[in-house]
Structure 1
Amino acid sequence: MIELVDTSDTRAVRNKDNVLEFYDLVINQKKSEEFVGRFMTPGYVQHNPLIADGAEALGQFFGGITRDRAEARVIVHKIIAVGDYVFAHVNFLNLFNDDPADTGIAGVDIYRMDAEGKAIEHWDTLQVVGTPENAAPWLAPDIPRANPHGMF
């Protein structure tokens, strides 16, 4: 994993550590409903149209996924923290299927953090990872890749 953070900026370091712990506890350890409140404010604003505002709604969203998908997990490839913002380049695996060969969804999550290190706002952009042969299997099946570059 690549981490970019000014280690002298204790706020940015704390925010980065909180986002990493959020991913691990809430998704990888499947403890979303118990721990999401540790990382998000109650009035957390969500810009992903699939999830309602609020920490409780986020916990319920990931709780439903992790109850249904034993292999659901996230891998953080890059994380950047600057002041109140944290940007994470991630790979969500098995969120919507149980296929052991799932290539997952590449995401860039952007968090705006409060003075206590909790997320108060979140944006994301998501893209199906695809395979070396198929650029976007869910969105446009059988469209060949135009380049050899992977998502990570």
Structure 2
Amino acid sequence: MIEIIDTNDSRAVRNKNNVLALYELMINTKISEEGTAKYVSPAYIQHNPLIADGSVALGKFFAQVTRERARARVVVHRIIAAGDYVWAHVNFLNLFNDDPNDTGIAGVDIYRMDVDGKAIEHWDTLQVVGDPQNSAPLIAPNIPRANPNGMF
């Protein structure tokens, strides 16, 4: 994992660590409601239209996903923290299927953290990773790649 952070900025270091811990509890260890209670503010504002506002709603959403998908996990490839903001470039695997060969969904999550180090606001952008033959399977399946670069 690549980390970009000013290690002299204790707030940024704490916020980065809290986002990593949130992913670990919420998805990888599948104790979503415990993770969101600890690392997400009750006043959490969600900009992803699939999930309601609030830490409870986020915890319930991922609790359902991880109950239904035993293989669900997240891999953080890059994380940047500055002050109250954390950006994470991640691969969400098996969130919507049980296929052991799932290539996942690439995501960039942006968190705004409050003074206590809890996520207070979140934005994301998501793209299906696809396979080597498809460049953008969600938008236009079976379009040949214009370059050999992967998502990560």
Shift of 1:139: 3.3
Matched with 2:98 is 98
Q: Which residue of 2 aligns with 1:125?
A: 125
Give the C-alpha shift of residue 142 in structure 1: 1.3
Indicate yes or no: 2:132 matched with 1:111: no
- AA of the residue aligned to 2:148: P
Query: What letter is aligned with 2:5?
Result: V
Distance 1:9 1:129 in 2: 33
- Identity of paired residues, percent? 72
Aligned counterparts of 2:60 and 2:98: Cα–Cα separation in 1: 20
Matches within 5 A, 1:12-91: 12-91=12-91
Paired residue secondary structure (1:19) = helix
| Structure 1 unpaired stretches of 5+ | none
Q: CA deviation at 1:143?
A: 1.4
- Is there any run of 5+ residues in structure 2 with no aligned partner, and where? none
1:4 is paired with a residue whose SS is strand
Q: Deviations over 1:2-50 (max 9, x none)?
A: 0011000000000000000000111000000122111110010000000
Q: Partner residue of 1:2?
A: 2
TM-score by length of 2: 0.97
| Residue identity in the other structure for 1:29 | T
* Aligned equivalents of 1:79, 1:16: Cα separation in 2: 7
Measure, in 1, the Cα distance between the counterparts of 2:72 and 2:29: 9
Look up the match of 1:143.
143
Distance in 1 between the 2:35 and 2:143 partners? Answer: 40
Contact 2:25 2:34 in 1 (8 A): no
1:141 to partner: Cα distance: 1.9
Contact 2:92–2:106 at 8 Å: present in 1 too?
Answer: yes
Deviations 1:34-72 (A, max 9, x none): 221111100100000000000000001100100000000
Which runs of at least 4 in structure 1 moved beyond 3 Å after TM superposition?
A: none
| CA distance, structure 1, for counterparts of residue 73 and residue 111 of structure 2 | 19
CA distance in 2: counterparts of 1:20 and 1:82, whole angstroms: 15
Deviations 1:51-101, CA, capped at 9 Å, x for gaps: 000000000110010000000000000000000000000000000000111
